[in-house]
Amino acid sequence: MKPDHKQPQADTQSKSLLGLSFSSVLGGGMWVMLARLLTQIAQLAAFIAAARVLTPEEFGFFAFVSAIAFLFVVVSEGGWAEYIMRADHGEQHLPQLATIALVSGCGFTLAGFSVSLIIGALWFSAWQTWLFLLFSLWFIPAALNTVYDGTLVHRNLLDRQAIIRMAAEAAGLVVTLIGLWAGWNIVALVVGRLVTHFLAVAGGAIVIGWIAPAWPGRQLLGEVLHFARYIVSVRFIVFGRSYSGTLAVGALLSLADAGYYRAAERIVAAFSELVGEPARMLAWVIFRRAAGQSDNARRGDPVSRAGNLFLPVLFAVAAPVYVGLILVAPNLVDIALGATWAPVALIVKILAVRQLLSFQGYVTEPLLSVRGEVRRLWPLSLMISIASIGMMVVLAPFGLVYAAVGQCVAAGFAGILAIWFQSRYGKLDWPRITANSGLIALAAAVMFVGVSLLAHWPAETRLPPYSQMAMQVLVGATIYLSVLYASWKWTGWLKSGL
């Protein structure tokens, strides 16, 4: 039998193609991360500018109505993008999917118009009704954009998708800022988002070409709607958890309170994304790499060992961020939003505690996915959402502080639930993780006490708020890092998790 001399060449070519594919995926991932970062910056800039111009009642009205509009967007977007990305034959039916998206968008636009007129006739004035109508124009471009978005991802054009998103967000921000400067008030925010949606569709059409709609057959329509049903149900859960606070506070208290609460949520969310997004990405990499290693009889399961190390490290990063936010909240709110928004500071402090209580949830999805227990995510997410929404509905009528404290209770429940799922299905050793995290908690506590004791000095010297906050950050970081380093040097904590 003759040796196969072609095999090494084929293997080399295969490895080369694999390396090219990996480089392409890595580059696309970097583009996506950059787009996400710039999107967050643009949205945060628009939020700060709006808070500086609008009154709490006006901002609360925008937050309340935009939450309702986003609910319509969630349903109108369906799962068209996910269907294209998931199904191998998804791109074969782009004209039909474009039709489904257009019908969905138009249907919800008409529903939005109807709701606007009914609510306007019963409760709101003429200008507020017109704003409702303007919000309804979001739905058509948002639904159609999902088809282009899904196609760009399916064709691995992540760099072009990122450029489109960044250009659309930048243009929307410019329109928003110009509108606020010109005195459009809430209209500036709505028009800015409309510009973003329409430019995203235009960018997709330029890259891919206009997708001419075609009517779908009954079989395809049934398949797409069956698939979209699951996507929409999951999005409902996420929506309920994200916007229940704004809706409950706006409905049960006042629009000004809704504005305060949404502003506090947005500030805390900026810090949460700073910790959470890198944590999820690193957890995927670390747990997948550990799952590919063979078990060691002496050292135990690689995934468990990775979790024993990663979660204390994550706590070491999250603790100073959220404890620091508690300490600097008054000065941060004063600098970013102005003196009018002073009541937001207390809510920011309480919601920072909420995030600290549930930090371990950042790794649940990658851990359970690697363990082959991804089906556990849906009931876990549902239980957490029910707890969060339930506490909000029960406690919001008593005031903003009670509503925020209720979210801390719900976060404590979510944290305990996440620990149970991670121990039961992810096989993490949480007693060991807790032991490895003890000195981190001590360092955070020392930082809190130290900064609190020194807090009066910058105020007494009448330093401006930004100087006071800079002093707090510098002192807090010095105390935390010093205690943490001394603890590691003297006790060797974390070594037991390896």
**What are the pLDDT digits (tens) for 320-335?**
999 999 999 998 998 8
Domain coordinates of the chain in residue numbers? 24-216, 260-436
Nearest in space to 338 (alpha carbons), one of 55, 64, 46: 55
State the average pLDDT over residues 363-367. 87
d(CA 404, CA 413): 14
Tokens standing for residue 343: 């009541």
| Residue found under tokens 């993780």 | 433
CB 364 within 8 A of CB 216: no
65: pLDDT strictly greater than 60: yes
- Classify residue 38 as exposed, middle or buried by CB count within 10 Å of its CB (0-12, 13-18, 19+): middle
Position 199 confidence tier, pLDDT thresholds 50, 70, 90:
very high
Average pLDDT over residues 403-410: 94
**Cβ(59)–Cβ(259) below 8 Å:** yes
Residues, the chain: 498
The angle at the Cα of 430, spanning 428 to 434, to the nearest 5 degrees, equals 145
Is the predicted pLDDT of residue 418 greater than 90, yes or no? yes
- The confidence score (pLDDT) of residue 458 equals 60
319, 440 in Cβ contact below 8 A? yes
Q: How far apart are CA 260 and CA 6, in angstroms?
A: 69
Q: What CA–CA distance (Å, rounded) separates 191 from 63? A: 15
Report helix angle 377-395 to 218-252, nearest 10. 30
pLDDT at 8: 41
Q: Is the pTM of this model over 0.85?
A: no
Q: Write out the DSSP string of 138-166.
A: THHHHHHHHHHHHHHHHTT-HHHHHHHHH
Q: What is the largest CA-CA distance in the chain?
A: 91
CA–CA gap between residue 405 and residue 208 (Å, rounded): 48
Nearest one of 133, 219, 128, 206 to 167, comparing CA atoms: 206
What DSSP character marks residue 5?
T
How far is the C-alpha of 31 from the C-alpha of 34, rounded, in Å? 5
Q: List pLDDT tens digits, range 84-141.
A: 876 566 577 888 888 999 999 999 999 888 887 887 767 666 677 788 888 889 899 9
Q: What torsion, rounded to 10 degrees, do the Cα atoms 77, 78, 83, 89 define?
A: -90
Q: What does the pLDDT read at residue 22?
A: 44
Mean pLDDT, residues 486-495 taken together: 65
DSSP string, 388-399: HHHHHHHHGGG-
Please report which confidence band the pLDDT of residue 30 belongs to, taking 50, 70 and 90 as the band edges: confident
pLDDT of residue 436: 83
Q: Is the pLDDT of residue 225 over 80?
A: yes
